[in-house]
Homo-oligomer: A and B are copies of this chain.
Amino acid sequence: MAETKVNNGVNVEALLAAREALKGAPEAAKFTWRASCKWNNGTHSQTKILGFHGLGEEQKHKTEFSFEADHPEVFASEDLGATPIEYVLVGLASCLTAGVAAVAQNRGIQLRSVESLLEGSMDIQGILGMDSDVRNGYDDIKVTFTIDADAPRKDIEALVAQSQKRSAVYDVLTNPTNITVQIA
């Protein structure tokens, strides 16, 4: 282990301490993340992120984050924001990337750069209701990392594998997640 020699900007000591603290208080590990969305016009909406619940109490981001979403012009929309299905790629990319940095820190590997390209393929015959055998969402997502780090390739491969193993977004996409939709 060479944690003290590397600095990827992740406070692994604090995370390990949190893990110890949570062992005695598993209720504090229950988080609820929230988003509130407002329709603008057409397929254009705005979603805001501010508060969440965790460690037994209400929490707040330092600032509110706001995201515009829309469909592109090829779907006869105005393209005033990223497409909803593209936000899924944003979540996946950033989750795996944060994981790579955290695992690298824990394993004493200095990262120099981490880049990734995500490609999600989707047959729009699904969402257009043309063929009930075609699913609505991605039939496949490919993530390609380019990592420059002070480690042999097999250690970099192991970093990425461990990041996948602990990724919240990778999990919700590769495994079924229960969603309830209701009207107030």
A residues with CB within 8 A of B: 8-11, 14-15, 18-19, 22-23, 26, 29-39, 41-45, 47, 49, 52, 54-55, 59, 61-63, 65, 67, 69-77, 79, 81-98, 100-102, 111, 113-130, 135-147, 153, 156-157, 160-161, 164, 166-184
Contacts and interface: CB of A to CB of B under 8 A. Distances in A.
A52 B86 CA distance: 10
A184 B135 CA distance: 29
A15 to B, nearest CB: 6
Contacts of A114: 38-39, 45
Nearest to A23: B130
A26 B182 CA distance: 34
Contacts of A75: 15, 18
Contacts of A168: 84-85, 122, 126-127, 136-138
A145 B182 contact: yes
B175 A174 contact: no
15 contacts: A15-B75, A30-B122, A31-B124, A33-B138, A34-B119, A35-B90, A37-B117, A38-B115, A39-B115, A45-B93, A84-B90, A84-B98, A137-B172, A138-B168, A170-B179
Given A33-B122, A125-B22, A166-B127, A42 B10 contact: yes
